[in-house]
Amino acid sequence: NAGVTQTPKFQVLKTGQSMTLQCAQDMNHNSMYWYRQDPGMGLRLIYYSASEGTTDKGEVPNGYNVSRLNKREFSLRLESAAPSQTSVYFCASSGDSPNNPNTGELFFGEGSRLTVL
């Protein structure tokens, strides 16, 4: 059971370089999310996609772009990396059924550790 798969798991960038974090889920979920985790800051939402073809900003979107390529895949792009973007990035997905109290739970990938020098 793959669940949510993120690549790469580790990346070191120089300031100003660009890169894309890839995420894919095999649970047929409509919603996908990108979070970042920083020490003492918890998990903060960068962008989310409620369904294929739609994306919306979260709490900390500056410096990032996203693409919902299809229902399975949601990528996060850093166009010009900055040291402040050094973080662990988590992709997540969720099913959405308003009448099912057990949905709405997020399923997370294992994380991508990014260092910007």
Partner 1 sequence: DQQVKQNSPSLSVQEGRISILNCDYTNSMFDYFLWYKKYPAEGPTFLISISSIKDKNEDGRFTVFLNKSAKHLSLHIVPSQPGDSAVYFCAASWRRGGSNYKLTFGKGTLLTVNP
Q: Note the residues at the interface with partner 1 (CB under 8 A).
A: 4, 31, 33, 35, 40-45, 48, 50, 58, 90, 92, 94, 96, 98, 101-111
Rg of the chain taking only CA atoms, in angstroms? 14
Which residues have CB under 8 Å from 93's CB, separation 6+?
Answer: 4, 25, 27, 29, 31, 32, 33, 74, 106, 107
CB of 46 to partner 1, least distance (A): 11
Between residues 48 and 74, which has the closer beta carbon with respect to partner 1?
48
CB of 16 to partner 1, least distance (A): 28
CB of 15 to partner 1, least distance (A): 26
Between residues 38 and 79, which has the closer beta carbon with respect to partner 1?
38
Between residues 17 and 37, which has the closer beta carbon with respect to partner 1?
37
- CA 98 vs. chain centroid, Å, equals 23
Which residues are registered as beta bridge partners of 93? 32, 107
What does the DSSP 8-state code read for residue 73? B
Identify which of 4, 54, 48, 46 has the alpha carbon closest to the alpha carbon of residue 24: 4
CB of 80 to partner 1, least distance (A): 27
